[in-house]
Structure 1
Amino acid sequence: MANAHIASGDGRRVLCSCISIFLLLAGVTALTVWLVYRPYKPQFTVMDAAVYSLNATSPFIFTSMQFTIATRNPNKRVSIFYDALTAYVSYRNQPITPLVMLPPLYHEKKSTVVLSPVLGDGEVVSVSAELVNELAMDETYGVVPLTVVLMGRLRWKAGAIKTIRYEIYVRCDVWVGLKNGSVGVVPLLRAPPCKVDI
């Protein structure tokens, strides 16, 4: 009877040891895979800007702008799928264009993709009278700070494995050289790398 009890206890210990070893090996494998394939954030930079129209009469603004944005996938082993990407332009933290839906995008490993969305396209957006006054003042000085925002979801793909979807928020703060009434390609006076949150 005592021998049966001891054998039963030994069996439980062996089973617990096997489970512990399995979990430890699974953890080490998962950590190794993560270290080898861990994805780095994509990088975004505004390369060029054009303003085709910009008219503000309180309380409305309507504009048409185009930004050339280069996005870089720095990963050697991981590609990126972008879903439901939208973009808009804001001025002093107030949107001045409606949301524009961008097509889905597949980003190969170690590659650069260029986007050139037209934003606004003359659609009217309601803004504050204060914003209209500030815009007029900035245009007088010839320096207008704008923010291009991209939002959506992404998935990383390594081999046959795809991750779940993650929200991505990209904020590109630029200063454009824009005088009253000027249209077409405008100089980028300041265009640091965009901030990317995932």
Structure 2
Amino acid sequence: MGSPTDSTVKHSSSVLCKVVAIFLLLAAVTAFTVWLVYRPHKPRFRVVGAAIYNLNATAPPFISTSMQFTLVTRNPNKRVDIIYDKLSAYVSYRNQQITPPIVLPPLYHETKSTVALSPVLGGVPVPVSAEVVNGLVMDESYGVVNLRVVLLGKLKWKAGAIRTARYGVYVKCDVWVGFKKGFVGQVPLLGAPPCKVDI
């Protein structure tokens, strides 16, 4: 037969367990409510302009390029800002990089805002395969070149005074540009669907 002290200890333990359970339940409900209110949506990116100043694939195994792409990014969130850092950009063709990566400045992206980026990419010869050189020569002869603009970096979500940890962001923008060898300057965008954003 247990003593009154044992009964009191059991009762106290039972009350403590119930209080902890209620506290955890309330914390979970609060966290879920905050998530519903502030859950961040991915930013949206799209290429809206392109210029090619140099695209020289006549000296394999190197290619020399100078290009500029204008990307527009939209923060669709009503309550969450986006902070980008460690952003870099490059261009690839047939899954091979044809420009060296360049570092972009940090970007603070406020709620429901749109920001334009216009990095100039290239300038330094990059080693490429014969497949890339031959493909570019063929595409230039047709007047349509399919390129991919890639952005890599980190982002944080910010809601009021709350900031999340950094998340990796990977943006892939496939574009089809009208380009013939010898042409320099703005080129028509023949296709530029919304970019794919992975976080």
Instruction: Tell me the residue number matched to 1:139.
Output: 140
Cα deviation, residue 10, structure 1: 0.6
Task: Give secondary structure in 1 for the equivalent of 2:182.
Answer: coil
- The answer to whether structure 1 residue 53 and structure 2 residue 63 are counterparts is no
- What TM-score, normalized to structure 2? 0.98
How far apart are the structure 2 equivalents of 1:189 and 1:155? 34
Note the residue ranges of structure 1 that are not aligned, 5 or more in a row.
none
- What pairs up with 1:170-185 in 2 under 5 angstroms? 170-185=171-186
What residue is the counterpart of 2:78 in the other structure? 76
Q: Deviations over 1:35-83 (max 9, x none)?
A: 1000000000000000001001211101000000000000000001000
The percentage of counterpart residues that share the same residue type is: 68
SS at match of 2:138: helix
1:31-50 equivalences in 2 (<5 Å) = 31-50=32-51
- 1:110 matched residue in structure 2: 112
Q: Output the TM-score relative to the length of structure 1.
A: 0.98
Distance 2:74 2:132 in 1: 34
CA root-mean-square deviation: 0.7
Deviates more, 1:127-136 or 1:188-197: 127-136
Which stretches of structure 1, 4 residues or longer, exceed 4 Å deviation after superposition? none
Q: How does 1:1-198 map to 2 (within 5 A)?
A: 2-56=3-57, 57-120=59-122, 122-198=123-199
Q: Deviations over 1:81-129 (max 9, x none)?
A: 0001000000010000000000000000000000000000x21000011
How many residue pairs are counted as aligned between the two chains? 197
How far, CA to CA, are the matches of 1:163 and 1:131 in structure 2?
A: 41
SS in 1 for 2:105: coil
Where 2:37 maps in the other structure, the secondary structure is helix
Q: Supply the distance in 2 between the matched residues of 1:129 and 1:76 (Cα, whole angstroms).
A: 48
Q: Distance in 1 between matches of 2:111 and 2:52?
A: 33
- Whole-Å Cα distance in 2 between the matches of residues 30 and 52 of structure 1? 51
State the alpha-carbon separation in 1 of the partners of residues 131 and 190 from structure 2.
24
SS in 1 for 2:10: helix
Report deviation, 1:2: 2.3
The whole-number CA distance in structure 1 between the counterparts of 2:21 and 2:131 is 65
Residue 34 of structure 1 deviates from its aligned partner by 0.6
Residues of 2 paired with 1:164 and 1:27: CA distance?
20
